[in-house]
Structure 1
Amino acid sequence: MDGVSELNAAYVDAQYQRWKEDPHLVSRDWQWFFSGFEWGASPESVALEVLDRQAMLRQLRASDLIYRYRDLGHLLACLDPLASCPSSHPLLDLAAFRLSEEDLDRVFYTDLPLADTGHRSAGAVHHNSDSSSTSHEASAEAPGEAVLQPGQATLRDILTLLKETYCHSVGVEYMHLQDPGERRWLQERMEPTRNRTVLALSERLRTLRKLMEASLFEQFLHSKYVGQKRFSLEGAESVIALLDVLAGSTAAQGCQEIILGMAHRGRLNVQVNLLGKPLEEVFCDFEDSYDPSSLVGAGDVKYHKGYLGKVLTPAGPELQILLCDNPSHLESVNPVVEGVARGRQEVLGDDGYLRVLPVLIHGDSAFAGQGVVAETLNLSQLEGYGTGGTIHIVINNQIG
């Protein structure tokens, strides 16, 4: 459309009136011209803001902060029941990223799922879902005047989500994974829920009942059989609730058997409160070796015994759980469990790895110090040894 400036004003006006009546009544060049004219003359049109150098640097620092919390947030997780929860760490402080409290109400671009969870800043920050109106990065605006678009959040909201996800009662280390898809898969399941599972009332009551059963069992043995070796589960009773949930979730997904291996600590509790071993049998083992006049107590043979039980899960399917016999040498049961699981999988056919799950319970020091643990892990990816994956549970004994 050359020479527009030379055209008669009446002609241009006539074309404009035709375009307003129906854009297709004029040529494509005129359509573009009048569209741009209307947009430029519109009082609602907003000029797009361009980030200045300082704003871009702040954005990069905020992105670095998000990555650091995903990588090292577990350093602030509240995991030790015998110590106060950590409140700060030099690698996670705002100063480590050259940010300050003045930046908390600034708006940054982020891929965190803040909109999905409905959490917003407590400040007077406005939210606009209209993507045609682009807000400033807010580095130069007063916080209360900022308008949040999809994909934006204040630094305060960002920190709240990261701390609730990675620094609460669950610590997660996963950024060492080399596959970006695996890291993203974990993030998509942790960050929207902030690593908290919403349980139904029936699930909460079942968990409470399991914790009470585990605790009362240990209290009874302690008061009834004084001096007897009992390798108490006290302080780690949540393992019983965890195994109960694990049994239910795996059975719901088609698993038929669990092959379980563990050391002495908590073995009797698992047999009674997970596998359904009759209390009479447990007490008979104590009575047969109980000598109240002995200063050194009795043997620990009962803590080597295995047990086979059938568990009725909340979802309905029955699950068979085999607790393997255990020798005195810590962690040597690991390859035995993997071998039993592999054998059962081969018996059940091509999908056996989906129907049989090996589970290993470790002590913290034993997991780190026993060579057989690393050897079993190293063999796990070989074709002749693989079982499709193993659930590892490490009990914090406050030693390792």
Structure 2
Amino acid sequence: MTKQLDESSFLSGGNAVFIAELYARYLDDPSSVDSSWVAFFQELRDEGAQLIEDFKGTSGARRDLQVIGAVDPEAAAAAAAAAKKGGKPAPAATPAEIRQAQLDSIRALMLIRSYRVRGHLLAHLDPLGLAKIEPHPELDYRTYGFTDADLDREIFIDHVLGLETARLRDIMRVVQETYCGSIGVEFMHIQDPDQKAWIQKRIESIQNRTDFTPRGKQAILERLTEAEGFERFLQVKYTGTKRFGLEGGETVVPALEQILKRGSQLGMEEVVLGMAHRGRLNILANFMKKPYQAIFSEFQGNAANPEDVQGSGDVKYHLGTSADRDFDGKVVHLSLMPNPSHLEVVGPVVVGKVRAKQTQKNDEDRSKVMGIILHGDAAFAGQGVVPETLLLSQLKGYATGGTIHIIINNQIGFTTAPQYSRSGPYSSDVAKGHQAPVFHVNADDPEAVV
């Protein structure tokens, strides 16, 4: 029977230990297990013995498995033998102690899962301190029956968070550092278990914090200095001129650099960008490397390339461009799509161009060309073209292998505060309906953004 069960059976994986021990208890005393299990075990007959053997392992490779808190009969026999020889075995745990250990483990695992789901609600995401962080009962260890007296008690958590056992105090410290720092993560809504496990492992293995080398930190500082210096110059030189500055969101420049550099290492050859007005000039100058003289010429009312103009042209914060960037000998072609004043209409254009480029390059695994779209928070939440574009993401005729969406949260949409412009806590909430992981990052923490 066991040979006929596939890997999704409740007898396989983590349940196998429990089922095997339950069957062993049934063999000793059928009345000690629930009647539903009695009927099931009666059908096993001779195959039940094989289940027990599989559980114990071979004589040369015994399997050290048992249910948490259950009495190990072999260990009990060894303890009895030691007592006969005059030894002093460790005192056996009382039923009350076993039950307490089981409850501690279950409650601790429930607490950890709650931080994976809702830890972002306590994350420090607002550089301005406008949003008040409200305590959430599911993130309080007292909700699960723990008290302050339990903070230093060792709890078995079976290598969750990379720890076999840990004090409650240490569990709280790890989950708060991982899920409540400058990065809030929403990923538990993803239905694909492999995708969810991959993200969870990446986050928890480093406690959601990257230790940059001195050279890496210097590179981030250089990009930030360029971005902030550019905005300050324009403010002084062209005071009062409409330019849609990037002030407060300058960390998006080193973040884009990191995406490009890592992407080139993974075989990415081309990136198509789309964005609204805010920060466009800064991206043109410091990411696309458009010459400063061309940008300043446009501030004077001239065309950057007069010979290319046919007609009246367009305002400088609508214009696109293309460029090649070299990262350690790997060249990535960038193209920034022009867009009209309808802020989000460029989204489907970007995705369509990415798909067309992939077709041209015979990029069937969707790894050579990628789209990046920058949004304002109010536009992402408020314009219908955004969910309409997301709806195409998994369709065979339109899929591109994924698009990176970066939302620059101004905490105001034109003149409207967030609480009057959307129903959910985040402007990104619409993306969760399409199984997309969401990372909320405090823009005043450059290393977290990158």
Shorter-normalised TM range: 0.7 to 0.9
In structure 2, relative to structure 1, the CA distance for the partners of 1:56 and 1:374 (3 Å cut) is same
Q: Provide, for residues 175-218 of structure 1, a one-character-per-residue CA deviation record: whole Å limited to 9, x for no partner.
A: 11123332221111111101111212211111100001000000
CA distance in 2, matches of 1:37, 1:287: 93
Match of 1:119 in 2: none
Q: Provide, for residues 145-203 of structure 1, a one-character-per-residue CA deviation record: whole Å limited to 9, x for no partner.
A: xxxxx611111111111001000000001111123332221111111101111212211
Report 1:236-385 matches (<5 A): 236-288=249-301, 301-313=315-327, 315-351=328-364, 353-385=366-398
CA distance in 2, matches of 1:78, 1:307: 36
CA distance in 1, matches of 2:249, 2:397: 35
Q: Does residue 207 of structure 1 match 2:254?
A: no
Match of 1:56 in 2: 102
In structure 2, relative to structure 1, the CA distance for the partners of 1:53 and 1:111 (3 Å cut) is closer
Per-residue deviation, 1:47:
4.7
Counterpart selection for 1:106 from 153, 156, 160: 153
Match of 1:78 in 2: 124
Q: Provide, for residues 310-366 of structure 1, a one-character-per-residue CA deviation record: whole Å limited to 9, x for no partner.
A: 1122x4311111110111101100000001101100000144611001111111111
CA distance in 1, matches of 2:388, 2:206: 36
Q: Which runs of 4+ in 1 moved over 6 A?
A: 34-37
Work out whether residues 365 and 401 of structure 2, in 8 Å CA contact, stay in contact via their aligned partners in 1.
no
Give the AA of the match of 1:268. Answer: L
CA RMSD of aligned residues (A): 2.4
SS of 2:367's equivalent in the other structure is helix
Counterpart selection for 1:96 from 98, 123, 143: 143
SS of 1:172's equivalent in the other structure is strand
5+ residue gaps in structure 1? 1-33, 117-149, 290-298
CA distance in 2, matches of 1:327, 1:352: 32
CA distance in 1, matches of 2:399, 2:197: 25
TM-score (normalizing by structure 2):
0.68
Compare 170-179 and 345-354 and name the one that shifted more: 345-354
SS of 2:373's equivalent in the other structure is strand
Per-residue deviation, 1:267:
0.6
Give the AA of the match of 2:258. Answer: V
Work out whether residues 324 and 337 of structure 1, in 8 Å CA contact, stay in contact via their aligned partners in 2.
yes
5+ residue gaps in structure 2? 1-76, 303-312, 413-417, 419-450
Per-residue deviation, 1:396:
1.1
Structure with higher RCO (Cα < 8 A, 6+ apart): 2
Give the AA of the match of 1:258. Answer: V
Q: Does residue 46 of structure 1 match 2:59?
A: no
SS of 1:326's equivalent in the other structure is coil
Per-residue deviation, 1:385:
0.6
CA distance in 1, matches of 2:269, 2:86: 67
CA distance in 2, matches of 1:219, 1:242: 20
SS of 2:127's equivalent in the other structure is coil
Structure with the greater alpha carbon radius of gyration = 1
Give the AA of the match of 2:376. Answer: G
CA distance in 2, matches of 1:179, 1:47: 45
In structure 2, relative to structure 1, the CA distance for the partners of 1:56 and 1:317 (3 Å cut) is same
CA distance in 2, matches of 1:179, 1:278: 45
CA distance in 1, matches of 2:186, 2:81: 54
SS of 2:184's equivalent in the other structure is coil
SS of 1:375's equivalent in the other structure is helix
Per-residue deviation, 1:52:
3.9
CA distance in 2, matches of 1:190, 1:357: 24
CA distance in 2, matches of 1:44, 1:355: 67
CA distance in 1, matches of 2:374, 2:232: 22
In structure 2, relative to structure 1, the CA distance for the partners of 1:182 and 1:260 (3 Å cut) is same
Match of 2:181 in 1: 168
Count of aligned pairs between the two proteins: 325
Give the AA of the match of 1:203. Answer: G
